[in-house]
Structures are given as structure tokens and as C-alpha cells.
Structure 1
Amino acid sequence: MIEFISALLEHSFLQTALLAGLLASIGCGVIGTFVVVKRIAFMAGGIAHSVLGGMGAALYCGIDPLLGALLAAIIAALLIGAVRLQWKAQEDTLIGALWAIGMAIGILFIAKTPGYATDLMSFLFGNILLVPPHELWLMASLDIGLLLIVALYYRQFLAITFDEEFARLRGVPVAFFYLLLLCLVAVTVVLLIQVVGLILVIALLTLPAAIAGHYVRGLASMMLIATLLGSVFTTLGLGLSYQADLPAGPIMILCAGCVYIISAIMRHLFVRYRAHRYAIGK
């Protein structure tokens, strides 16, 4: 890691990559907590993979693929949210269909785009080293927007996350805030595809929050710990990938996955130990 730190001080592209990872970790920690607690990872996956259609269309039209991704993600979030609210019995099938349709549209646009779509491939598989400096401003703006909305409507999001029926009885417009939450998930997906790509985005969205959930129960505490863990995983993954000359995205996910498995095992053993002590005490 000493070699990586030395290179970080010398090369601006590594500094940009590090900042991109830290900015992505903010959305990952805050919105990923809602995804884990509300158990909507499959919906988040549907939104993430539908994004490919928007990126392909944007690249075909000569527009920034990230803007196409943002538009497609929000449209997919609203469609998936409407499916869940109106046709809950067929929820899984319809979300899977939207997932597949989005991927198919993206592949068709890739096929019709002249030349080899290297930028689009980096979004699909992730390449944090190719994040241009001007994209950091967009990522920072999206993070600020996420934090402002969550701060303004924290109590409403808290209510619909834990008990939608109770929230409805208290007069909270559940449908509106549910769709808004899915739109925030869509924005976070766009943040994360810059770092790990569409293929791995759900892992980075859920694993830090899931690890935090092993140790704390408060939503705000989970957000803070998940954000810190996301920062650690992206920074560590970037450093290890630089040392080993390997893709950064998969290394980040491997770091997060290994920590999650170790944490889950330790928590399981601790729960069994407490149960055993309680049984002895009785």
C-alpha cells in the first residue's frame, strides 16, 4: 500500500478515482440502508439493470451516457414502484421483465452504435480509473441532493420503511414517498456505476449497510457506519487493485463480501454464545 500512497500523491487520475469512490460511498451508505432494511434489493437490481438501456440510447445519440443512465434509472424506478403498488401479486415477474427489457434495449443500441463502445463497457463492468474529473461535480451534486431529501423527509422515510400501514394511518402519503425512495435508489445506482459498474452495483449498495446492521439498529447509525465502510472498501479496493494490477471494482466487492461473511459468522457465534449463557443462567 505504500507504493499506492506514493502514486496517489503523484497521479491526478488516482486522486480522481479516490474521490469518486468516497462520493459514491455517501449514497451507498445512506440509501443502501433503506434498501437493506426495507428489503428491496431485487427492486434495486431491476432499476440498475434497466439503466443499460438509457446509457445505450444516450451513447447512440451522442449524449453523455451518465445523463442517459440517470433518466433511465428514474423512469425504471417509477415503473417498478407502480408495479409494486398496483400489481403486488405479480411483482417479481414484472420487475424481472423490466430488468430484461432494459438490458435488451441497451444491447441493441450498443450494436447500432458505430465503433466499439469502450465507455459503455466501463459502465457495465466498472472502471473507477476512467472517471473524468468533471463527473465528480455531478456525483457531488447528486450526493447533496440525496442528503437534503433524506434530511427533509427522514421521519416519513422512517415510517414507510418499518411500517407502511401505520404510516398510512398517520396520514403519510405512502405511495408518494415510496416512489421518491425508489428514485433516490435510482440516483444512487447512477453514482455507483461510475465505480463498480452495473454488474456489481447491488453488492456495494447492500453489503456495507448489511454489515452495519449486524451491530446497530438505529437507521441513522446504520447510515453513518455503512458510509464509513463503503469508503474503506472503495479505498482499500483501489489500493489493492493498483498493487496487483487488477480491476478495481471486483476487488472492492471482494473486500466487502469477505468482511460481510466474517461479520455474519461472528454475529451468529455471538448470538449462540449469548443463548447458551442465558440457558445456563436459567
Structure 2
Amino acid sequence: MILEAFKYDFFTKAFFASILASIVCGIIGTIIVEKKLVMMSGGIAHTSFGGIGLGYLLGFEPIIGAFLFSIIAAVSISNINRRARTNSDALIGIFWSVGMSLGIFFVSLMEGYPPDMTSYLFGDILTVSDFSMNIMVVANIVVVVSVVFLFNYWKGYLFDEEFSRVLGIPTNFLEYFLFIMIALTIVVLLKVVGIILVIALLTIPPAIAKLFTYDLKNMMILSIIIGVIFTVSGLFISYAFDIASGATIILLSAISYFLIAFIKGRIFNI
């Protein structure tokens, strides 16, 4: 039954999409977890919903709108937080709610029946398009190349930003570039797990990897492997039982995390 699924073009696309998503997720997810940018990433992801709604309203590809809104949100949150010194959590919450509201507002302005945006909220990897696949390939190339060639800079930026700045490492550039990569990663994950579940796939594989190693490079590699296992397994399960793919992937990931953490004694101080 599993091999028969590859006879269908949509399943083959979904299979490769799950691998591409896991690669970019494992790398950027590790950076997000280590830099403690989980909440900000959630805010960026939910703000992207406004871009999806705008794309539907103006008739262009919603993924492009999501990417633009994600970048605007990331850069704006960073700049406002630095200059105004406001509470970052409050700022993220504002962008989070405004982005979701704008998405609903733009769709409500459309004539006729509104489009079904469920796949963008909860993901549906079985409906991934050729355009989304191309975006995934580009995102993977950008992320992998930038992290590999600037690995030592990223390492310094993550573990001691002030010292890195003293050494002359362009930390401001790295920060903005990181936000762009987060935006790209979120766009990649929209069709896989959706806006609502994106944070789980960004954080659970790195969290599991951290149970086994604290080395940054090994964490990234292990996160990618774990992500591939979860996304591919979730894809097959969702196909076999005709259930939601995004939710299946996340539930499988979360259950695995708690089981592994329990076995390793990281829960309940065993």
C-alpha cells in the first residue's frame, strides 16, 4: 500500500516536500531554539496570514504575500523593540493578532464565496503545488549555503552576541538575515503543517536533538534526520487513514518528544 502511493504524482510531490521542509526546519529550528526566538517566530508565522488574505484579494500567489508580510513583521518587531524598548512579547502579540485580523479582513472584501484557507492554517502536504515546491528548493539552497559558509559567525552570534560584536562580526546583519531565513522557512512550512502548527515543527525536532547533543552542528544534522522521520511517517499515516497531514505530523512529533524525554529522565527528574 505504501509503495502504491508513489504512483500518484501528488503523493510523490508531498514526499519530497516533506524532506525539503525537514532540512530547512532542522537548521533554522535549531537556531530559533538556541536564540530563544520561538515566540517571535510564532508572531511572524501568524502575521503572514495577512499576506495570504491580500494575495487572494488582489489575485496574486498567496505564498508571495505570506513571505512579504513575514519579512515586514520580523524586521518591524526587531526595530521597534530596539528603539522603543517595549515589551517584546506584547509587540509580538500585537503583530500576531493584527496579521490574522488583516487576513480575515482582506478575504471578507472579496466578492462571491471566500476561498478555503484551511490548508494555510493547518497544512495539507498532499496538495502542495509546483510553485510551492520551487519555493522550497530555493529556500533550502539559501538556508544551507548561508549556514554552511557562515557557520562560525552563526555560532558566535548564537552563544555570545556581545563578544561577537567586539570581534567585528556583523551581528546586526546576521540578525536581519536570520529573520529573512525564518520568513522563508515559514513560507516553506505553510503547506506542510500550516500557520497554526508551524512552531511545533520548528521546535520539536531541535528539542529532541538537544536531548542527545549540545554541539550546534550535530544538533542541526540530528534535527534534520528527526524531522524527516516525523514528516515522512506522518505523511504515510495521514494518507493511509485519510486524516489531516499537518496535525498527524505534529502529534507524532510531540508524542515522540515526551517519550524520549521520559526515557532519558529529563521529565519528572527521574
Band the TM-score falls in, shorter-chain normalisation: over 0.9
Contact 2:261 2:267 in 1 (8 A): no
State how 1:99-178 maps to structure 2 within 5 Å: 99-114=96-111, 115-118=113-116, 120-178=117-175
How far does residue 266 in structure 1 lie from its aligned partner after superposition? Answer: 2.1
Per-residue CA deviation, residues 10-48 of structure 1 (Å, 9 max, x unaligned), is 111100111111111111000000011111100000100
Alignment of 1:243-262 (within 5 A): 243-262=240-259
CA separation in 2, counterparts of 1:54 and 1:239? 31
Partners of 1:72 and 1:139 lie apart in 2 by 18
CA positional deviation for 1:123:
1.0
In structure 2, what residue type is equivalent to 1:265? F
C-alpha deviations, 1:56-82, integer Å up to 9, x for none?
A: 101111000111111111111111222
Greater Cα radius of gyration, structure 1 or 2: 1
Partner of 1:62: 59
Alpha-carbon separation, structure 2, partners of 1:139 and 1:154? 21
Instruction: Determine if contact 1:21/1:234 at 8 Å carries over to the other structure.
Output: yes
Query: Which residue does the alignment assign to 1:78?
Result: 75
* Comparing 30-39 and 120-129, the one that deviates more: 120-129
Q: When the two structures are superposed, what TM-score results if normalisation uses the length of structure 1?
A: 0.91
Deviations 1:121-160 (CA, angstroms, capped at 9, x unpaired): 3111211111113421221011101111212322222111
CA–CA distance in structure 1, aligned partners of residues 139 and 15 of structure 2 = 17
Instruction: Determine whether 1:5 maps to 2:3.
Output: yes
Q: Distance in 1 between matches of 2:170 and 2:266?
A: 41
Structure 1 contact 81–182 (Cα < 8 Å) conserved: no
TM-superposition CA deviations, 1:74-101 (whole Å, max 9, x none): 1111112223433444111111111111
TM-score after normalising by structure 2: 0.95
- Contact kept, 8 Å, 1:157 with 1:181, in 2: the verdict is no
C-alpha separation in 2, matches of 1:42 and 1:199: 13
Question: Would you say the 8 A contact 1:50–1:73 is kept in 2?
Answer: yes
For these two proteins, the number of residue pairs brought into alignment is 269
1:244-272 per-position Cα deviation (integer Å, ceiling 9, x unaligned): 11011000001100111112212326996
1:128–1:248 CA contact under 8 A, matched in 2: yes
The answer to whether the aligner puts 1:32 opposite 2:42 as a matched pair is no
CA contact (8 A) 1:33 1:209 kept: yes
3-state DSSP of counterpart to 1:195: coil
Q: State how far apart, in whole Å, the 1-side matches of 2:114 and 2:268 are.
A: 52
Q: State the identity as a percent.
A: 37
Extract structure 1 runs of 4+ deviating beyond 6 A.
none
Q: Contact 1:53–1:72 at 8 Å: present in 2 too? A: yes
Higher helix share: 1
| 1:213 counterpart = 2:182 | no
Could you tell me how far apart the structure 2 residues matched to 1:258 and 1:65 are? 32
Asked if the contact 2:17–2:125 (Cα under 8 Å) also holds between the matched residues in 1, the reply is yes
Aligned amino acid, residue 214 of structure 1: L
Structure 2 segments unaligned to the other structure (5+ residues): none
The CA distance in 1 between the partners of 2:104 and 2:94, in whole Å, is 15
